[in-house]
Chains A and B, each alone.
Chain A
Amino acid sequence: SYELTQPPSVSVSPGQTARITCSGDALPKQYAYWYQQKPGQAPVVVVYKDIERPSGIPERFSGSRSGTTVTLTISGVQAEDEADYYCQSADRSAIYVVFGGGTKLTVL
């Protein structure tokens, strides 16, 4: 079955830039989405259609893509950004939804 691969963890100091990658063979053919999940809470979408940011999401969150990899960039990381981040897409034929394994962002 199709998989999206994320690093298990990323650590940055406040004010620095965090980059979280997500790789998958079908990403050149499907949009990618990013969710932030804080402990005990439901996920919240922070980037959709690769690069779009929903209303209410801070400008420091941005998305990009290059080939089979998409990247969530958080510029000027704040303590409140510490959370788990999941990428999501669909398989090449758009039959089912796939999530990446998640990346724990730690703000040092």
Chain B
Amino acid sequence: QVQLQESGPGLVKPSGTLSLTCGVSGGSISRSNWWSWVRQPPGKGLEWIGEIYHSGSTNYNPSLKSRVTVSVDKSKNQFSLKLSSVTAADTAVYYCARVRRDSSGYYLMWYFDLWGRGTLVTVSS
């Protein structure tokens, strides 16, 4: 059974770079899946950050694209998030998730069927 686990610093200074890793256990990250990051500010809704395929192809939320990098390390069976120039507005619970993506149907299927437990990252000096 595949499980996801986020890890990384819980506190980042303003203007710094937020770095998180999602470890994938119970299965290979190189299977035919995309892998994604989603965040949720305290008391607010969900926001999609971006996604990566095991080949390294990526897609990003246009509103965050200039500050986001998602990468994959197949040897460690993990993928990572870097968010630069952070402010207090980037304080959130960050989730990693497995993406179900299939363009063979009438519409594109694109959703998240497995999530990590999430990790709170606070941006503060």
Which A residues lie at the B interface, using CB under 8 A?
Answer: 1, 29-31, 33, 35, 41-45, 48-49, 54, 86, 88, 90, 94-102
Given contacts A99-B45, A101-B45, contact A90 B63 (CB under 8 A): no
Bound form: Cα–Cα A49–B63 in Å: 25
> B89 to chain A: which residues have CB within 8 Å?
none
* Range of interface residues on B (Cβ < 8 Å): 20 to 34
Q: A95-B62, A96-B61 are in contact. Are A42 and B118 (CB under 8 A)?
A: yes
B112 A43 Cβ-Cβ under 8 A: yes
Tell me which of A31, A42, A49, A88 contacts B117 (CB under 8 A): A42
- Report the Cα distance A99→B41, complex, angstroms: 14
Q: Which of B8-16, B24-32, B103-111 has 4 or more CB atoms under 8 Å from chain A?
A: B103-111
The answer to whether A90 and B108 touch across the interface, beta carbons within 8 angstroms, is yes
Q: Report the minimum CB–CB distance from A68 to chain B (whole Å).
A: 15
Instruction: Give the residues in chain B near A41, CB-CB below 8 Å.
Output: 117
Cα(A1)–Cα(B40), bound, Å: 18
Q: Is there an interface contact between A88 and B111, defined as CB atoms closer than 8 Å?
A: yes
A48 touches B111 (CB 8 A): yes
**Also in contact, A33 and B45, with CB within 8 A (given A42-B116, A42-B118, A95-B59):** no
Q: Are A1 and B115 in contact (CB under 8 A)?
A: no
Cβ–Cβ contact B113 & A99, under 8 A: no
Q: Which residues of B contact A1 (CB under 8 A)?
A: 62-63
Q: Is A31 within 8 A of B116, CB to CB?
A: no
CB distance from B93 to the nearest CB of A (A): 9
The answer to whether A96 touches B108, judged by C-beta atoms less than 8 angstroms apart, is: no
A77 to B111, CA, bound (A): 25
Give complex CA distance A85, B110 in Å: 18
Contact status A97-B110, CB under 8 Å: yes
Tell me which of B47, B95, B108 contacts A30 (CB under 8 A).
B108
What 0/1 pattern do residues 81 to 125 of B give for CB contact below 8 A with A? 000000000000001000010000101111111011110000000
